[in-house]
Structure 1
Amino acid sequence: MTQDITYTTKTKQLIDSLKSVCANYGLGNDGNEFKIITQVFLYKFLNDKFRFEVKKLKPELGDNNSFYENLKAIQAKHYDLLMDLLDENVPRLKPHQLISHLYNSQNSEDFAKTFDDTLRDISIENADVFSIKSFSGAKDKLFDELSNYITDSSQRDGFCKALINKLFEFSFEESFENYFTEKYDFFKDIFEYLIKDYNSDSGGKYAEYYTPNAVSRIIADILVEGDVKKVKCYDPSVGSGSLLMSLAHNIGEDRCTIYSEDISQKSSTMLRLNLILNNLTHSIPNVIKTNTIAEPYYLEKHKFDYIVSNPPFKLDFSDFREDLDTDRFKERFFAGIPNVPKTKKESMAIYLLFIQHIMYSLNDQGKAAIVVPTGFITAQSGIEKKIRERLIDKGWLRGVVSMPSNIFASTGTNVSVLFIDKEAGKDQVVLMDASKLGETVKDGKNQRTVLTREEERKIVETFHAKEAVEDLSVVVSVEEIKAKNYSFSAGQYFEVKIEYIEITAEEFAEKLNGFETKLNELFAEGNALDLEIKKNLQNIKFNK
């Protein structure tokens, strides 16, 4: 844990250093700043991953201080052989593409061009493994020409030198390569720290929310049981991939393949970094940038063993809403498509489409966990109820966990997690109300609720045991859920208890006399007030 904290602290320091560089060159707090920081991070990660893997093959290349010079001294034919020995998912770099070389070359003429050319060559030479595809099949570039974000060409050399100096300083103070053997669950915190300045209106601008570590762990621990091998894991609104990372860690990175879709280029960039850090580089070709609802890439290509998702709850999709309301989408969106409201189009409940998409995308043994607004589980009619009816009638609902309020720092919306299992059956559905768990902590200007590890374990163990715990969980049948109008709220199934206290006849008479005396006092006080009001009314006179 101490190592995790150290890593996170150091990484945040690097982010702040890069933000400072951007601010000094007029790029503070805009979209270009985000692109620059994420791409410089990617360059840093590729450097350290390359060095880490090469040193496993040739430890004699030495520490960070001597690695570059020793690598540069290797003859070309031996260097090519060394590259051939690397795993196919490891980036291939040349000595002159390393941070150390650029640092040593920064006083050369036209350094900005050297910097951009280096990143462009790395992008081209590693495109097969590290590029992200769009719906059309086109691959994006790993790197833009970062110097071009500086409009004043006379400042471009200085800008690129400043970036390299920050990376070089960090290389010797703290290298990422020390952590490539670790599980990177804490990278979620770094993602949130990096992107929060570009996500205005509590997530409204980009409709992105950060799944808390506790929720990710609970979902993964509930979904993954026993020995799992060779499975396909999918997230249709992946963001930075925190849910998929936790799921892959529980299954085993070498036992699963990750598939994802997201409309955000920003999220795809962060996911690519996360896959590199989490020993899931082999899944980068499966990262697709697309509109999952309108142009799903995997819809007819794969059915999935596991699906996890924290979809956007509300988003304006009125531009393509009518395209969805056609025969070719009827099977996927069986419960219907939300209408366009006359006002506040941004309130359109797009999460209902994601739930239906996920149900359609599971294979016959598939399991899924979906974060939904808690209002979904009790809605009396509409698309929400039709989805719940389908889950119950098919016997696909494994259970629901309603989370504490404010567990998401960026939104106060109460959330629940819907657990779907195509083999769940109709006898034992676990409904859990964890809203009273957790402790409130200050998170910047916001309050958020944090679950302890003990509370996480209690939720997971109770769910797996299918155990009824007073004021926490119930285990119900499909027929009981139908009798409650298909409600998935645990609270509606809790037994109502009335506490009785044994008292004597004398104690009862004494209590009754006490109530009568108190009532008489109140009546007397009321009569006195009435007389006072009547007296005051008689003293009121008319003045011209």
Structure 2
Amino acid sequence: MNFTVRDKTKQLVDDLKAICANHGLGNDGNEYKIITEVFLYKFMNDKFFFEVRTLNAKYQSATNLEELLKALPDDEYDLLLLELPASVAQLNREHYISNLFNSQNVPEFAKLFDDTMRSVASLNADIFSVGTSGGEKVRLFSGISQYVVEEAKRDGFCRAIVNKLFHCNFGEIFHEKYDFFATIFEYLIKDYNKDGGGKYAEYYTPHAVARIMSEILVSDEVSNVKCYDPSAGTGSLLMSLAHQIGEDRCTIYSQDISQKSSTLLRMNLILNNLAHSLLNVVQGNTMTEPFHIIKREPKDGFDYIVSNPPFKLDFSDWRDRVDASHQTVQEGETEETKKLNARFFAGVPNIPNKDKDKMAIYLLFIQHIISSLNSKGKAAVVVPTGFLTEGKGRATSIANKIRMRLVDKGWLRAVVSMPSNIFATTGTNVSIIFIDKTNKSGKCVLVDASNLGTKIKDGKNQKMLLSIEEEQRIIDAVNGQAVVDDFSVVKSFADIKEAGYTFNPGAYFDVSIEYVNISAEEFSRRINESKTRLNELFNEGRKLEKDILGGLDGLFYVD
């Protein structure tokens, strides 16, 4: 990785945030919209010129490409736009950042800035918009100056931003790969994902978890596959999975209830050369309005699913609606409706009398994921470690029913118990369950990685950090079906059933007792030594007790 380019890119992010802070928008709820829109506008400008230079030698050798393009006849410019890859934003000549830079003295510059960004969004609406579950389109840019309360300061705000954008060039970064953009994206959004608290997937899933999930799910070369995350958040799991498969060999689908997460996910897709999947990004409630099931897109379900769903969340407002649709089989209902209503085969959690925010919504997500896989599908899901044993032996337990389904169908491939505090934002211990509908081995791998990692300070929180070697150890244990004392074990589904369908790896480790052959004389000698030492300790204890009591008598003596 080119550290100089990376640092320059991070510096631009810092400069943009500083401009926001200087105009009263630091830590403002709208700051992330400004930063993401401006960063993407810059990225798309520079990507446009980078791709134009690859079209022919004349453009590649041009010392002032923008002036050359501005001099082209309109029909030639239109043909040039048609030659660009579909993943590259279409830009008219008035959309260039240089045009804004050279127009800073015009009246109402902030309006010009916003109008330019909105025009770019309109021109590229067919590719770069994301949808809602209701069918509406959320466009790429909406303008930024309105977030500055004082109108008199809006022109200065936009000028400051344009000056930073103009004097920075992303041209060097387009040869970089996934790891570069994963680092940049995490740095870009680090201040905007501190309030996740487990609400859907707003917080950023650690790179180590994403890598472990993707490299276990995809260990062989695949192509033309459909990947899905029903609680996508900012998309870190999907990006890692797409990188493992190959960005040009997969199509991404996602849904998340958070508008902010969907905005950040769109940026992540664009940065990682996955703009072709933007039309499959949906904002909405996956449990009540599962867009991809309702629309049957894709028709047969997904090849790969990754998810870090919310664990606890108050969904009492729509709990009964989901439960009613699950239990009701209406006459003449469509195949889509049947699939929709059949998702929650293990049931829907009840509404507790108190602490509604602790409702186990993750149990709905696991069932939704199982139902969303195609007949050969594979999935990796982050769950609270308590799920591995919750409701063991109870026929009414939703968690137990899910575990039974995975084992009885032979779909469980592996379970990995992760170290505590692998997420800095939550103290909940987590595990990863791997589902594989093609698993014909009759067995699964159980890994206890809870003792791995090094504890570090992450802001005010403690975080457990896995080394590359430790990540690889987990991956190799699952993919190689390794048996390692007190770390990993391979068990048949019959063994899992016999143990009451517990997924806890530790329940299957052998208890080792060390035996040493010694003679009768040696045994007698060791016993006598132990007795002698015990008598000495008892004598010391009695003497100490006597000294203490004597001291207390003196303390309370009254003359």
TM-score (norm 1): 0.92
Q: Does 1:369 align with 2:397?
A: no
What is the alpha-carbon distance in structure 2 between the residues aligned to residue 138 and residue 539 of structure 1? 86
Per the alignment, residue 249 of structure 1 pairs with 243
Q: Secondary structure at the match of 2:435?
A: strand
Per the alignment, residue 466 of structure 2 pairs with 451
Moved more, 16-25 or 320-329: 320-329
Decide which of 510, 514, 517 is 1:495's aligned counterpart: 510
Per the alignment, residue 292 of structure 1 pairs with 286
Decide which of 165, 168, 173 is 2:166's aligned counterpart: 168
Per the alignment, residue 440 of structure 1 pairs with 455
Per the alignment, residue 442 of structure 2 pairs with 427
What is the alpha-carbon distance in structure 1 between the residues aligned to residue 382 and residue 199 of structure 2? 20
Q: Does the C-alpha gap of structure 1 residues 136 and 528 become closer, same or farther in structure 2, counting only changes over 3 Å?
A: same
Per the alignment, residue 354 of structure 2 pairs with 343
| Shift in Å, 1:538 | 7.7
Size of the aligned set, in residue pairs, is: 538
Q: Does 1:89 align with 2:87?
A: yes
| Shift in Å, 1:250 | 2.2
RMSD: 2.5
| Shift in Å, 1:432 | 1.2
Q: Does 1:221 align with 2:215?
A: yes
Q: Which amino acid aligns with 1:94?
A: N
Q: Does the C-alpha gap of structure 1 residues 250 and 202 become closer, same or farther in structure 2, counting only changes over 3 Å?
A: closer
Q: Secondary structure at the match of 2:513?
A: coil
What is the alpha-carbon distance in structure 2 between the residues aligned to residue 115 and residue 140 of structure 1? 20
Q: Does the C-alpha gap of structure 1 residues 447 and 536 become closer, same or farther in structure 2, counting only changes over 3 Å?
A: closer
Per the alignment, residue 193 of structure 1 pairs with 187
Q: Secondary structure at the match of 2:167?
A: helix
Decide which of 272, 280, 283 is 1:278's aligned counterpart: 272
Q: Which amino acid aligns with 2:161?
A: L
What is the alpha-carbon distance in structure 2 between the residues aligned to residue 498 and residue 219 of structure 1? 35
Per the alignment, residue 334 of structure 1 pairs with 345
Q: Does the C-alpha gap of structure 1 residues 16 and 344 become closer, same or farther in structure 2, counting only changes over 3 Å?
A: farther
What is the alpha-carbon distance in structure 2 between the residues aligned to residue 540 and residue 91 of structure 1? 88
Per the alignment, residue 240 of structure 1 pairs with 234
Q: Does 1:77 align with 2:92?
A: no
What is the alpha-carbon distance in structure 2 between the residues aligned to residue 537 and residue 75 of structure 1? 105
What is the alpha-carbon distance in structure 2 between the residues aligned to residue 204 and residue 364 of structure 1? 30
Q: In the TM superposition, what whole-angstrom CA distance separates every residue of 1:116-146 from its partner, at most 9, and x where no partner exists?
A: 1101111111000000010111101211221
Q: In the TM superposition, what whole-angstrom CA distance separates every residue of 1:278-314 from its partner, at most 9, and x where no partner exists?
A: 2211111111111111111011413111111111222
Q: In the TM superposition, what whole-angstrom CA distance separates every residue of 1:84-141 from its partner, at most 9, and x where no partner exists?
A: 1112232110121111111111111111111011011111110000000101111012
| Shift in Å, 1:364 | 0.5
Q: Does the C-alpha gap of structure 1 residues 185 and 236 become closer, same or farther in structure 2, counting only changes over 3 Å?
A: farther
Q: In the TM superposition, what whole-angstrom CA distance separates every residue of 1:398-421 from its partner, at most 9, and x where no partner exists?
A: 111222222223223222111101
Q: In the TM superposition, what whole-angstrom CA distance separates every residue of 1:6-45 from its partner, at most 9, and x where no partner exists?
A: 4443232212111111111111101111111111111112
What is the alpha-carbon distance in structure 2 between the residues aligned to residue 251 and residue 538 of structure 1? 79
Q: Which amino acid aligns with 1:311?
A: P
Q: Secondary structure at the match of 1:170?
A: coil
Is the 2:213–2:380 contact (alpha carbons within 8 Å) kept by the matching residues of 1?
Answer: yes
Q: Which amino acid aligns with 2:9?
A: T
Q: Does the C-alpha gap of structure 1 residues 297 and 64 become closer, same or farther in structure 2, counting only changes over 3 Å?
A: farther
Per the alignment, residue 484 of structure 2 pairs with 469
Q: Does the C-alpha gap of structure 1 residues 168 and 498 become closer, same or farther in structure 2, counting only changes over 3 Å?
A: same
Is the 1:209–1:408 contact (alpha carbons within 8 Å) kept by the matching residues of 2?
Answer: no
Matches within 5 A, 1:97-116: 97-116=95-114
Q: Secondary structure at the match of 2:431?
A: strand
| Shift in Å, 1:528 | 4.3
Q: Secondary structure at the match of 1:356?
A: helix
Alignment gaps of 5+ in structure 1 = none
What is the alpha-carbon distance in structure 2 between the residues aligned to residue 182 and residue 324 of structure 1? 45
Q: In the TM superposition, what whole-angstrom CA distance separates every residue of 1:433-482 from its partner, at most 9, and x where no partner exists?
A: 12233333443443333333333333223322222122221111111001
Matches within 5 A, 1:10-21: 10-21=8-19
Is the 2:302–2:374 contact (alpha carbons within 8 Å) kept by the matching residues of 1?
Answer: yes
Q: Secondary structure at the match of 2:352?
A: coil
Decide which of 19, 22, 25 is 2:20's aligned counterpart: 22
Is the 1:185–1:246 contact (alpha carbons within 8 Å) kept by the matching residues of 2?
Answer: no
What is the alpha-carbon distance in structure 1 between the residues aligned to residue 490 and residue 199 of structure 2? 40
Q: In the TM superposition, what whole-angstrom CA distance separates every residue of 1:316-363 from its partner, at most 9, and x where no partner exists?
A: 222212211113465211112223333332222211111110001001
Decide which of 370, 377, 380 is 1:359's aligned counterpart: 370
Per the alignment, residue 403 of structure 1 pairs with 418
Per the alignment, residue 124 of structure 1 pairs with 122
Per the alignment, residue 40 of structure 1 pairs with 38
Q: Secondary structure at the match of 2:254?
A: strand
| Shift in Å, 1:384 | 1.4
Is the 1:185–1:245 contact (alpha carbons within 8 Å) kept by the matching residues of 2?
Answer: no
Q: Does the C-alpha gap of structure 1 residues 422 and 410 become closer, same or farther in structure 2, counting only changes over 3 Å?
A: same
TM-score (norm 2): 0.90
| Shift in Å, 1:234 | 0.6
What is the alpha-carbon distance in structure 1 between the residues aligned to residue 175 and residue 149 of structure 2? 41
Is the 2:201–2:231 contact (alpha carbons within 8 Å) kept by the matching residues of 1?
Answer: no
Q: Secondary structure at the match of 1:326?
A: helix
Decide which of 371, 376, 391 is 1:380's aligned counterpart: 391
| Shift in Å, 1:207 | 5.3
Per the alignment, residue 317 of structure 1 pairs with 315
Moved more, 35-44 or 407-416: 407-416
Moved more, 196-205 or 492-501: 196-205
Q: Does 1:486 align with 2:509?
A: no
Q: Secondary structure at the match of 1:259?
A: strand
